[in-house]
Amino acid sequence: MHTKYVIIGSGPTGLGAAHRLKDLGITDFVVLEKEDRIGGLSKSFVDEKGFTWDVGGHVQFSHYKYFDDLMLKALGEDGWLKHQRESWVWIENRFVPYPFQNNIKYLSPETMWKCLEGIIHVYKNPSTQKPKNFKEWILQTAGPGIAEVFLFPYNFKVWAYPTEEMNAVWVGERVAIADLSRATKNVIFNQDDFSWGPNSTFQFPKKGGTGSIWEAVGNIIGRDKFKLNATVEKVNGPTKTLTLAGGETITYDHLLSTVPLDIFTRYVEGLDPKLVETAQGLKHSSTNVVGIGLKGKPSERLKTMCWMYFPEANSPYYRVTVFSNYSPNNVPDSEQYWSLMTETSESSAKPVDRENLIRDTIKALIEDQLIESEDDVVSTFHKAFEYGYPTPSVERDGILNAVLPALEPFGIKSRGRFGAWKYEVSNQDHSLMQGVEWANRVVADVPELTLFFPDTANAMWGK
């Protein structure tokens, strides 16, 4: 069987590619999905008690008109709920508004001064050296106080790797830089400073969680274009032939892989074994999503909160989302129930006791004053995703620069959150557009923007 355009994976990248091919009037394509549902890491799940859960705290905001138009087409104007971001950091038994760097006035006087003194140190002793890693970047931009109090412990909990093992290229709009004037003014005038960042407003589906978006996009593309339960076992690069489990073969002209790059290179016959070995140096962390369905209603202070960050060591999770606030349909009956969704990272550098994670999560939620009693818990959910975050390690760019071009002579491009391994362009909008731009490139030779120029792509936010 010959298919001109073959796409492996039905997450946002694969769906973006398929949708764009259809846009361009092309019908000779297929999307291969190893699972029995589409959506990749943007699927949603409904537990036995009727609570809906996402694969982590997805929110919808965008840098691209194409993405916005497709979201509207997928769910319609009435299919979305609009939200003003309200995010907080739980530290020293209190909530500090995010971004932490701008709101240190909420801290105890001793901690506030430690943070402010660190920012002053940075201003008095500016570094002339380009940071070699994320740890150096933090110290050069935030100072030792904020680093010690928040950024070091929090980033280890998120990434599951020490900050010195990560590069600083990815940071861009992802981390607020400490500003001495802004922080001092907020302290002196007792001002709140909430609005930083590209997702200060966002939208969320009324029904079905994030997964409902991508199911709808699949319907727009046409379900006949998807082959589910189709696991790719090998790809013969020189002959442009892939083999599925069960023995079926497909020849192709152009192949888009969204499979994690380290895994995918092991499938490709004809690739230099040294490059395969190089690709194994890419780092990633796993994500444990724990959902806690609760009876009653959230406390007064949680009623408008979106998500919270947790740098302290008592809790396994780094982020908690008040998921019932995103949509009342995320719970069986919003008059009787509400829900919290937590995320806990895991790696070889940060092991997790998965067997007891639900128990440990509930204990920490009580300690962190988010729930009053274990008796309020009516449903629990736990799902571990081996590939959760593509770690922007110090070695990453060198590996990508060697491996990605080596696939191209075989008509293969590897794109998406783990296909291209660039965290800085792996939100849902970025991922979809990597697929769209792949289609534009292979069909019309239009250069790709998002993957190769992340700063430019992210600067388009709000344009």
Of residues 105, 168, 104, 107, the one with CA closest to residue 139: 168
Cα separation values, 381 from 279, 354, 358, 366, 389, Å: 33, 12, 8, 17, 20
- Residue 407 and residue 413 in contact, taking contact as beta carbons nearer than 8 Å: yes
pLDDT given for residue 163 in this prediction = 97
Alpha helix locations (H) across 335-427? Answer: 357-367, 396-407
pLDDT tens for each residue of 389-428 = 999 999 999 999 999 999 999 999 999 999 999 999 999 9
Tokens representing 26 are 């092309």
Q: C-alpha distances in angstroms, 284 versus 355, 388, 463?
A: 21, 7, 32
- How many whole angstroms separate alpha carbon 73 and alpha carbon 63? 17
Same fold, 2-42+211-282+392-459 and 44-85+199-209+284-389: no
Dihedrals phi, psi of 88, to nearest 5 degrees: -140, 160
Instruction: Give me the amino acid identity at 12.
Output: P
Q: How many CB atoms lie within 10 A of CB 427?
A: 22
From the centroid of its chain, how far is CA 83? Answer: 19
pLDDT of residue 56: 81
Q: How far is CA 23 from the centre of its chain?
A: 27
- CATH for the 2-42+211-282+392-459 domain, from 3.40.50.1820, 3.50.50.60, 3.30.70.100, 3.20.20.70: 3.50.50.60
Q: Tell me what pLDDT residue 2 has.
A: 98
The identity of residue 233, as a single letter, is: E
Domain residue limits, the chain: 2-42+211-282+392-459, 44-85+199-209+284-389, 100-188
Q: Where are the beta strands (DSSP E) in 9-164?
A: 29-32, 44-46, 52-54, 80-84, 87-91, 94-97
pTM: 0.93
Spatial distance between the Cα atoms of 282 and 298, rounded to a whole number of angstroms: 41
Residue segments in the chain with a per-residue pLDDT below the cut of 70: 172-181, 186, 188-189, 193-199, 460-463
Give residue-wise pLDDT tens across range 168-203: 988 854 455 566 667 777 676 677 765 555 557 889
Are the C-beta atoms of 443 and 24 separated by less than 8 Å? Answer: yes
255 contacts: CB under 8 Å, gap ≥ 6 = 6, 7, 8, 235, 240, 242, 410, 411, 412, 413
Res 173: pLDDT:
47
Instruction: Write down the residue that tokens 């390690």 correspond to.
Output: 393
> How far, rounded to the nearest angstrom, does the alpha carbon of residue 201 sit from its chain's CA centroid?
17
Q: Name the CATH topology of 44-85+199-209+284-389.
A: Polyamine Oxidase; Chain A, domain 2 (3.90.660)
Closest to 416 measured CA to CA, from 300, 261, 231, 243: 261
Buried b (16+ CB within 10 A) or exposed e, 397-419: eebbeebbebbeebbbbbbbbbb
